[in-house]
Structure 1
Amino acid sequence: MMKTLTGLCAAVALLGGAGSAHAARDYVWAAGSSTVFPFATRVAENYARKSGMKAPNVEALGTGGGIKLFCSGVGDNFPDIANASRPMTQQEYDTCAANGVTDIVELKVGYDGIVIAADRSAPDYQFRLPHLYLALGANVLRGGKFVPNPYTNWNEIGPGLPNNRILVYGPPPTSGTRDAFVELGIEASARTYPTAAALRDRDQDEFKQMTHPLRREGWVDSGENDNAIVQTLTKTPGSLGVFGYSFLEENGDKVKAMSIDGIAPTVATIAQGTYPLSRSIFIYVKKAHVGVTLGLQEFTTEFTSDAATGRGGYLQSRGLIPLLPPEHEAVKAAAANMTTMSRPN
């Protein structure tokens, strides 16, 4: 009896926080990536239907915003899960640890690609990777020196590109899609230029300061709602949009994706990593909440199940590109055992 009371008091203290005494939440709370959002909401619906329990609360705050809230502390005022379209960084992990979030379970749930898309009636843009930095970087190289971006039209960037003004709608800085686009698109594009590559070898911080910022005119931050970007493309002739592959799948009747270096984003090219803007997507689970937040273990099990994220699972029809079977089995085992991650490299 004493052990039972001790465990109950610990749970109340854990989820109530200092100076409060209320019961643990009876629903799972997940926050983060807008790319992971449609997958997480579908899992939440199926979990609630199968279990008869409350559907989890899933919020689209962007990867950075979700991880920041997740790492802010332990208890029912903080999410159980952070949804992420990029890996957690060292700095984020250290912030978690400083706030008492010390046991984190990292679960890769699939792959996604970042697409550059336009309305279906738009011309095809045959992008090469170097075009992305020249078109969208705030500072670009001319004559071996970094200068404020002078380009206004796509045909100034490379031969064969349309004579349309550079206007790209994309995610804000809090978004994992933005982080991944800058890393996989802009940074990789900049490194194709010898001057930028030499700067990166000499001073990575200065390289990022010069190449990571996106231009103020030509790039438009469009919030965390990728569906809003899709709608904007259909109403703004000549514009392009940057968002996750899953939204391309859902809106293939309205928009089309552009190839990069001759490779179009498809399930096969993203899973194989041959499409230049391919990435992995994750959920991060707060182990301290397992057994306290009602249904957290069960929801995590559903998210990593064959039925959800396995090949032919119901998330594949929503645009998720599944892991290869051996990797998926390892993720299922990590979810079942709540195996905690190490500090990122």
Structure 2
Amino acid sequence: MTYVKLAVSMLAIASASTAMAQSRDQIRIVGSSTVFPYTQAVAEQFSNTTGAPSPIVESTGTGGGMQIFCQGIGEQHPDVTGASRAMKPSEYKLCQDNGVESISEAMIGYDGLSLAVSRESAFEWDLTLAEVYLALAAQVPVDGEWADNPYTMWNEINADLPAVEILAYGPPPTSGTRDAFVELAMHAGCEELDYVKNGDFDGDWIGENCSRMRTDGPFVEAGENDNLIVQRLQADANAVGIFGYSFLYENMDTLKAVDIAGVSPSEETIGDFSYPVSRPLFFYVKNAHRGVIPNLDEFIAEYMSDDALEPGGYLSERGLVSLSADRLTALQDAVLDGAPMSAPE
């Protein structure tokens, strides 16, 4: 590149940065509905302690958030996205193709992907992942064949379960919670079935045949607002909801957990992964926006603070399961230094 071209390029970048800083004074955040309450809590704490404008936090779902986040650099694009799973290689490539080349990844803690019912339910729910799969999958074994799911009542799956209609409210395909549920619950439940264990089926077969949720009524996509699922469970004692642990934690007065294979979600069982549907949570920062969007660095510092992330911090009070001390220190150092993530595999 010639000196003139380099100078013009640097001038354009500086001008764009100045325009970005001048045209927007609020941090913009998109992404996971599960991470949303944690990010919202940090936004409120940040605004209260600094007097700065509160960041705009939108619950778009993990997949939707990644698509928006990776569209480009500049004030018209968000600064941070939350995710209830790690960034996919295809999403990283989309970011790179659109000039979002330096991204910091923050694994903020752990979450249990919880199944819950109303406290008005008289039944003490305890399901295996195989039973969850048989209730909610589009196709299941029927008389030795792989076929459309015929089950409409829980006691048709297991006579010890209640004689009530299967009705579960859960996340849509754009949600990282849906991705995690498919991987951690549906695939694992499918692998527990005798039909699959006794067959010659590999991971590719599992991915192709055990990923689809049923669309005939018993499973209802409830959008990206998990509070709506909470409200539906409060109104129907027989319905089951699927969402992050924080939504169960914050509504324990009206909801109770569905145990999975005898294990109830809690800070301890999620942290040691004995609860079988446990997962890490993330957010991603657009490093080109640091030092340009007003207060972004200060907001990230609040998110990475001990007050937020340590055990007993204000995010653990909302249901986030904290990292170990060593992992937390490494996370804080990397994110505050703006260390760019490597391409995911």
> Shorter-normalised TM-score: what interval?
over 0.9
Closer, same or farther: CA 199–224 of 1 in aligned 2, 3 Å: farther
> Is contact 2:304-2:336 (8 Å) kept?
no
1:113 equivalent in structure 2: 112
The alignment partner of 1:23 has SS state of helix
**CA deviation map 1:21-79 (0-9, x unaligned):** 88352221110011111111110111112222111111000111111100111111111
> Is contact 1:12-1:24 (8 Å) kept?
no
The TM-score with structure 1 as length reference comes to 0.92
How many residue pairs get matched?
A: 336
2:150 equivalent in structure 1: 150
Distance (whole Å) between structure 2 residues aligned to residue 96 and residue 196 of structure 1: 38
In structure 2, give the amino acid aligned to 1:257: A
Mean CA deviation greater in 259-268 or 42-51: 42-51
Distance (whole Å) between structure 2 residues aligned to residue 14 and residue 156 of structure 1: 61
> Is contact 2:190-2:206 (8 Å) kept?
no
Cα deviation for residue 316 of structure 1 reads: 1.1
Cα deviation for residue 196 of structure 1 reads: 3.8
In structure 2, give the amino acid aligned to 1:82: T
Distance (whole Å) between structure 2 residues aligned to residue 12 and residue 305 of structure 1: 32
> Is contact 1:129-1:189 (8 Å) kept?
yes
Closer, same or farther: CA 15–186 of 1 in aligned 2, 3 Å: farther
In structure 2, give the amino acid aligned to 1:265: P
Runs of 4+ in 1 over 6 A off after TM superposition: 5-8
> Is contact 2:184-2:276 (8 Å) kept?
yes
Cα deviation for residue 7 of structure 1 reads: 7.1
For structure 1, the 5+ residue unaligned runs are none
> Is contact 1:199-1:207 (8 Å) kept?
no
* Percent sequence identity over aligned pairs: 44
1:97 equivalent in structure 2: 96
Confirm or deny that 1:306 pairs with 2:306: yes
> Is contact 2:103-2:285 (8 Å) kept?
yes
Closer, same or farther: CA 264–10 of 1 in aligned 2, 3 Å: same
In structure 2, give the amino acid aligned to 1:215: R
Cα deviation for residue 15 of structure 1 reads: 7.5
Distance (whole Å) between structure 2 residues aligned to residue 232 and residue 305 of structure 1: 35
1:168 equivalent in structure 2: 168
1:97-246 correspondence runs (5 A): 97-122=96-121, 123-193=123-193, 195-196=195-196, 201=202, 204=204, 206-216=205-215, 217-246=217-246
2:248 equivalent in structure 1: 248
The alignment partner of 1:220 has SS state of strand
Distance (whole Å) between structure 2 residues aligned to residue 277 and residue 319 of structure 1: 15
For structure 2, the 5+ residue unaligned runs are 1-7
1:35 equivalent in structure 2: 34
